[in-house]
Amino acid sequence: MDKTHIASLLKSCDLFPIPQGVKLSYGTAGFRGDAKLLESTVYRVGILSALRSVKLGSATIGLMITASHNQVSDNGIKVADPSGGMLSQEWEPFADQIANASSPGELVSLIRQFMEKEEITIGDKKSAEVWLGRDTRPSGESLLRAAEIGVSSVLGSVAIDMGILTTPQLHWMVRAKNKGLSATENDYFENLSTSFRCLIDLIPVSGLEISKLIVDGANGVGGLKIGELRGSLSNLDLEIRNTGRDGGVLNEGVGADFVQKEKVVPLGFGSNDVGMRCASLDGDADRLVYFYIPSNSSSEKVELLDGDKILSLFALFIKEQLNALDDDDKEGKHSRLGVVQTAYANGASTDYLKQLGLDVAFAKTGVKHLHEKAAEYDIGIYFEANGHGTILFSDSFLAFLAAKQKDLTQGSEEHKAVSRLVAVSNLINQAVGDALSGLLLVEVILQHMGWSVQKWNELYKDLPSRQIKVEVPDRTAVVTTSSETEALRPLRIQDAINAEIKKYSRGRAFIRPSGTEDVVRVYAEASTQEAADSLAKSVAQLVEGFC
């Protein structure tokens, strides 16, 4: 790093002093917090993103300014790697260090050391390109400017404002750009609508009545973008509510996170919607859940179809298409299908997936861990119960499908199955969970099956569950297996938990430490709600005793 570069960094750093007493860490969702305290953090992540681009041969990097399902006064920033996935975990410690550097001198010193370690050299010519997106939060515009200044303080780096986007849109565009494909927002929309129409045309039964889908846009960017997409979806009757244009507040009493946690109707929905198929997006449209208001409900309670139900629907459909392939392919030579869940997945969903004969794997909580595990399969499907997930197709499997599609007789059942798989690979956002592409795939599959939302909900019945937080002096005293399904420390606590589990029909429980506070989370499920509550309470008491 030469004197010119150091001077550039010191000059821009003075514009964004770090707030006193604020310590942030880069998690699955990047940095997140009160928007008023984030300018210095966003500026520094701008520097990091430029260095990441330089390190990877000027590959395009994405920076998304959003706090997803958090309240509107919050904001955040996260990095999209050239693959469209999340920032490499190897760079997360560096992100933490520079975000919390207490002075410009310390910041420059950390950057210099990191550049030497990573062998990053800044040249005179354009050396980095960073695409910036933001959601609809009022604080987004000023934070985006801070990110731009951070990027441009690394000599030869260019920041490009891509405008207001959903998080998945920016991830998709970064992935497409680095693959050498057209990567505008219009390309994203065209990709969704074209692959959706292809799948609709391949539906085996014609003349099905298509009922209306009512979408809760969480008063965020997703409601705006699905409104833009609606015009090209002639086979889908959409009504969009909570777009944010009618004075509604982002994520306040609305959105996927609210519906999934509270299991009640969002604002703008009521008795007139009984029995209707409804879907909720979250604030930045990377989560999706479905719900309906049952006819016998006398309250605001809803029947929830969460990420587990979406995963099960996707897995059933994909398996059906694979079963239509010839015998050699059924053996899994080219098409190893796996599903990935976390320990928080409802046990009934896991049982259902195993009954389908699927390979069910568990990963540590956090999308980056599920994504990594799903990539081990030819087709990997992952979802968290909160509605964040997607489907990954390996390059070798897509090449196999392309070759097979050419060889098969057009119109044959096997050709249709291959064509459906190809269309799904185009429709689904393979970079990250995407509520818009996920919603379109759900709608196609329901039409393909001829199912109502109620019929879909009958795939299995969720086991009652309960979650409890237990405050502890030191959360690091609890160590779990990589899948978080069993505790390794404190010693003998897992034996005690197992003894409690045996007392309950269909009992299951686990503990895991929080990633941010001295809290241990307890999850329990059993055949009745009373039993699940009792099991959770007894496990919580064990945590208090051992910790």
Q: Which residues are annotated as a binding site for substrate?
A: 384-386, 512-516, 521
In b/e form, how buried is each residue of 481-497, taking b as 16+ CB within 10 angstroms? eebbbebeebeebbebb
305, 279 Cβ separation under 8 angstroms = no
Residue positions forming the annotated binding site for Mg(2+): 68, 282, 284, 286
The yes-or-no answer on residue 68 being catalytic is yes
**Active-site position among 12, 49, 53, 68:** 68
Q: How far apart are CA 471 and CA 543, in angstroms?
A: 9
In b/e form, how buried is each residue of 103-117, taking b as 16+ CB within 10 angstroms? ebeebbebbeebbee
For the four alpha carbons of 78, 84, 89 and 90, in that order, the dihedral sign comes to negative
Beta strands at 74-80 and 389-393: parallel, antiparallel or unpaired: unpaired
Does a cis peptide bond (omega within 30 degrees of 0) precede residue 168? no
- Residue 184 CB coordination number (10 Å): 12
Q: Is 370 helix (H, G, I), strand (E, B) or coil?
A: helix
- How many CA atoms lie within 13 Å of 392's alpha carbon, on the beta-carbon side? 26
Q: Is 314 helix (H, G, I), strand (E, B) or coil?
A: helix
Beta strands at 288-292 and 303-305: parallel, antiparallel or unpaired: antiparallel
Instruction: Return the H-helix or E-strand segment holding 389.
Output: strand 389-393
**Residues with catalytic roles:** 68
